[in-house]
Chain A
Amino acid sequence: MGNYLKYCLSLFCLILLFSCADSNDYSTLSKQERINRSEKVLKDGSHLFQGSQKSMTRIAKAIEIDPNNCDAVRELSVAYLKRGMPNKWKAQIDKAVACDPVIWQPYRGYNYLWFYRDYKKAIADFNASDTLTPDFIDAPQGHSVDYWRGIAYLGLNDYENSIAYFSKNIQTETEEYGEDWVEPTAFLYRGIAYYENDTFDKSLKDFDSFIFYSKNKTADGKYYKALIYSKKNKCEEATKLLMAATKDFKEGYFNNRHYVETIRQIYTEDLNNLKAKLEQKCQNKPL
């Protein structure tokens, strides 16, 4: 009987050990302790399903512990962004920008650009980053704000500004790291801007660069080249390029993004429309 009591006491102690919960009173913690605790809460739950009740509660808890944990403030906005709830996203991302504008203002611009196609607000946020970090070109989501501005101006059909920002981006990257470090779609998008401006020679050069850096696997580069050759009434070249573009497209080599359609995304229908146009235009010309 004595042994059983000992066992029960041991089990009770074990249960007590695992029953310890974090206190909700953070007033006794130092500033650094709150920062550390907040980061730990955020990191510990990073595996939770994004936007789930548990995930959202744990992010909110991290903010409660340290209201200056701007990563957590931003993180709370992401599920709203991805699930098509713009007003909820806006309320939260604005708090993140207020918390740390250097990091999150250009990032908000990136979201305006892709998820809402609000090019003007996107450009305003990218421009603000120039003021916030005058000696540094910010790169939200891995690309320079000049690259993002080039896309935003392309969305506004402002081809001059689009070309100017892509050129700045390409030149800066080339001088610092070499041309092969340039994001290949910078050539694609600048090529499209040149194409829209009827500057076909420069456009073709950019599409060639894009095709080269895409290891010759890109429906977009070949499709746009085919469009130019079609305009130049060069039926044979246009048709060959279109066939190659169609092959690449079927193999999955086309410009696209997760979550949202990309700008100037091409589809099978675009390829078929050009094919029909070429067949009509080139009826009496050798293919």
Chain B
Amino acid sequence: MNWKKFFKVLGIVLAALVIIVVALVGYLYYEYEGKFPIDEEEYPHHIGYINTENAVLTEDFDLCDEILAGIHSSSQPKIYNGSKYAFKKYIRDHYTNDSYTDSGFLVFRFHINCKGETGNVEINELNPDLQPTDLNDTMVQQLLKLTVRKENWQVGYVKDQDGNAYNHYMYVLYKIENGELLEILP
């Protein structure tokens, strides 16, 4: 047997197989992910990204080195500590309409880290037609304080393989009419 020739053929076959596998994996990656470009100018981040430069309660707040859940599928209702009933009751029991005349929507988008702490809150103040407006600062601050209260939220119902709780993305939307809370969503 000509071992030299045998190993040469074997080497060529193996090399060809490796090239085919690499090409196939590369092709599949290209078809599934690689061929889709990103318009960095128009979409510098995914939708829902919170830019901490435009957020409040960012100091002394850090996300854990874990997955951020709740981006695609909403974290509600499990993210509410106890239930959404309890969250709504707490807000309604503690909120005071101090003769506010504002109507529209107030939205807080924020993070809850793996320890259940809240931070990185982006505030959006909108009129009834969903256009940016300026709502009463005292009312906004009052609702912000009530919303980010740590006891409102629970984490740990989804965990990684090592048992670490995820961080969560969450938003709370208040529909307001003359300072009264008509709806608390989601």
Q: Is B83 an interface residue (CB 8 A)?
A: yes
Interchain CA distance A260-B107 in the complex, whole Å: 14
B110 → chain A, closest Cβ, in Å?
10
Interchain CA distance A118-B185 in the complex, whole Å: 12
How many of chain A's residues touch chain B, expressed as a range? 35 or more
- Does B47 lie within 8 Å of A51, measured CB to CB? yes
User: How many inter-chain residue pairs (CB < 8 Å) link A and B?
Assistant: 120
8 Å CB contact of A48 from B27, B36, B84, B186: B36
8 Å CB contact of A86 from B33, B72, B89, B105: B105
Q: Is A84 an interface residue (CB 8 A)?
A: yes
Q: Is B173 an interface residue (CB 8 A)?
A: yes
Could you mark each residue 251-270 of chain A with 1 if its beta carbon is under 8 Å from any beta carbon of chain B, else 0? 00000101111000101111
Interchain CA distance A53-B72 in the complex, whole Å: 13
8 Å CB contact of A56 from B47, B109, B124: B47
On whether A86 and B130 interact (CB within 8 A), knowing A47-B32, A261-B186, the answer reads: yes
B-chain residues with CB within 8 Å of residue A116 when the two chains form the complex: 105, 130, 173, 175, 185
What is the size, in residues, of chain B's interface with A at 8 Å between Cβ atoms? Answer: 46
B-chain residues with CB within 8 Å of residue A54 when the two chains form the complex: 33, 36-38
8 Å CB contact of A45 from B36, B105, B126: B36
Q: Is B48 an interface residue (CB 8 A)?
A: yes
- Does B46 lie within 8 Å of A84, measured CB to CB? no
B-chain residues with CB within 8 Å of residue A256 when the two chains form the complex: 77
A271 → chain B, closest Cβ, in Å?
10
Chain B, Cβ-Cβ closest to A257: B186
- Does B83 lie within 8 Å of A259, measured CB to CB? no
B-chain residues with CB within 8 Å of residue A55 when the two chains form the complex: 36
- Does A258 lie within 8 Å of B182, measured CB to CB? no
8 Å CB contact of B72 from A49, A85, A115, A265: A49
16 A-B residue pairs with Cβ-Cβ distance under 8 Å, sorted by A, are A51-B47, A53-B43, A53-B46, A54-B37, A54-B38, A83-B71, A84-B107, A84-B186, A85-B124, A86-B105, A86-B124, A88-B47, A89-B130, A115-B186, A117-B183, A270-B85
Residues in chain B within 8 A of chain A (CB atoms): 27, 30, 32-33, 36-40, 42-48, 71-74, 76-77, 83-86, 89, 105, 107, 109, 124, 126, 128-132, 169, 171-173, 175, 182-183, 185-186
